[in-house]
Amino acid sequence: MKGDYQDLVDEISALLGAPATLENRDFRLIAFGAHDSDDDLAMDPVRTRSILTRQSTADVRSWFEGFGIARATGPVRIPAAPDAGVFRGRICLPVRYRGIVQGYVWLLDQEPGKPGPEQAALDAAMEVAQRIGVLLAEEARAGADLSREFLAVLTAGPGWPQDMAVAALRAALGPGGDGLHAAVCVAPWPGEAPASVPGAAAVCVVPRRGAGEPGGGAGPGAAAGPGPGPEPAGEPALAVLLRLRSTDALAPALAAVARLLPRAAEAAGTGKAVGGKGTGAGARATTAVARGVTAGVGDPVRGLADLPAAWEQAVAAARAAAAQPRFGPVAQWSAIGPYRLLAALAADPVDDPAARTLLTPANRELARTAEVFLDCAGQAGRAAAALGIHRQTLYYRLARVEQLTGLDLDEGEDRLLLHMALKASRLA
């Protein structure tokens, strides 16, 4: 498939007499033509970064999208902006399929005062861009078509049902099935799975758990018996199977996942489904977290049989991101600390008798005081400073905590119990 894209990009370069680059809709580089110009302006910082890192920054993407390229149906001329690292103007050929933008072909525009490409050449180049759009759409559908196999792996019961599901997914992935993959959870996810996610081998929506089911998935593909407990708090979740070249490729892949969060947040707020066209692309991921939409990623794995465990990690990380904004909006399981254990506990609200009274709304400030004190390893000076209170006030509040809970904060096990209860309550 990559060779097909390169041939088409070379064809556009020949038609317009300028080196072209092809990026997908998320500004990740797919192919580029040869650059043999002696003109220093031909390789400005934006184009150099795109080729060397195979992606553009969020600021660059936002700047170019401001010229309406995502809505355009024909070539768009974009002026030079040296302050933004764009030393030479661009010609953008939007790559579309059935009205939906799939990517962009970029060319350097002629210098001011010099004639640009003739209209006939631009029309011919747009026809080639349409062929590219067909290929990109087919590639996206290929990933979406694996949703059934991917869902079966995540929801099948242990033993032979899971072995069969893994074998089916491996066969569907072909040679790529033995590569490096990471499981990502976006929750909650209203509506259908998106038509494509950059870098994804498969996507699916893991349905809401049925009533009375303590763990296993209850949707299509779920086998009898307890499953891996897929979705946080009983909400439907989007599962993304990322295909990675190496562990170093995880960060840029997760940047693409982060762009899904505002779409899910806006859909959740309006009751609209999220699908191929997407909604709320301009919203910020922080707004998504405020509306309860987060994402988590498990450790990369090479064996597809390890995907259920990786999915559990991803769900735990998503729950941790919702509980602690400092982890989000996209949290990695390897970085969530004690929540790696706490999120593996039952999803039911914490109801330990010792912490029950402390966790009521009336005692919210006392609970926060106890949590900060325990986060500071019982060091009163640090805790008082973090809370912005006098040390004597801290001692008074801790005494009230001991009265309400019946716990002795000088005892290590009592501290551990309270600390776990406070942290786990965030996951409820």
CATH of the domain at 405: 1.10.10.2840
* CA dihedral sign of residues 213, 217, 223, 226: negative
Query: Based on the structure, what is the number of domains in the chain?
Result: 3
- Same domain for 156 and 123, yes or no, is no
With a cut of 60, say whether residue 278 has pLDDT above it: no
Query: 58-72, 79-93, 352-366, 397-411 — which one is most confidently predicted on average?
Result: 397-411
In a domain, 98, yes or no: yes
- Average the pLDDT over 408-419 and give the result: 89
Same domain for 99 and 209, yes or no, is: no
Q: Identify whether 401 is part of a domain.
A: yes
Q: Among the ranges 122-126, 133-137, 325-329, 354-358, which has the highest mean pLDDT value?
A: 122-126
Query: Is the predicted pLDDT of residue 42 greater than 70, yes or no?
Result: no
User: Same domain for 71 and 210?
Assistant: no
- A 10 A CB-CB count for 413 gives 9
Same domain assignment for residues 225 and 88 = no
Residue 348, domain member (yes or no)? no
How many CA atoms are closer than 13 Å to the CA of 90, on its beta-carbon side? 27
Residue 374 lies in a domain: yes
Single residue among 90, 110, 139 that ends a domain in this structure: 139
- Provide the pLDDT for residue 158: 84
Q: State the pLDDT at residue 223.
A: 30
Q: Is residue 268 part of a domain?
A: yes
pLDDT for residue 254? 77
Tell me: pLDDT of 45 over 70. Answer: no
* Residue-number span of the structural domain to which 52 is assigned: 2-139
Asked whether residue 325 falls in the same domain as residue 236, the answer is yes
Q: Which of 397-401, 410-414, 421-425 has the lowest mean pLDDT?
A: 421-425
Query: 59: pLDDT confidence band, cut at 50, 70 and 90?
Result: confident
CA dihedral 398, 400, 404, 405 (to 10 degrees): 20
Residues 11 and 104 grouped into a single domain: yes
Write down which residue in 294, 313, 342 finishes a domain. Answer: 342
99 and 225 in a common domain: no
Domain CATH for 58: 3.30.450.40
**Residues 210 and 267 reside in one and the same domain:** yes
Q: Is residue 407 part of a domain?
A: yes
Position 304 in a domain = yes
Average pLDDT over residues 232-250: 79
**Does position 157 have pLDDT exceeding 90, yes or no?**
no
Rounded to an integer, the average pLDDT of 163-186 is 87
The pLDDT value given to residue 120: 93
Q: Are residues 307 and 224 in the same domain?
A: yes
Instruction: Out of 103-107, 168-172, 217-221, 333-337, pick the least confident.
Output: 217-221
Tens digit of each residue's pLDDT (9 = 90 or more) over 9-22: 999 999 998 889 99
Q: Which one, of 258, 314, 332, lies nearest residue 289 by Cα? A: 258
For residue 50, the one-letter residue type is: S
pLDDT in tens, 321-380: 888 888 878 899 988 888 888 876 655 555 678 888 888 889 999 999 998 999 899 999
**What average pLDDT score do residues 42-56 get?**
54
* pTM listed for this prediction: 0.56
Is the same domain home to 234 and 364?
A: no
Q: What is the structure's pLDDT at 96? A: 92
Q: Are residues 89 and 44 in the same domain?
A: yes
Which pLDDT tens digit goes with each residue over 96-109? 988 888 899 999 88
Domain end residue (candidates: 122, 139, 156): 139
Is 347 a member of any domain? no
Q: Among 113-117, 125-129, 130-134, 234-238, where is mean pLDDT lowest?
A: 113-117
Task: Check whether residue 210 and residue 92 sit in a common domain.
Answer: no
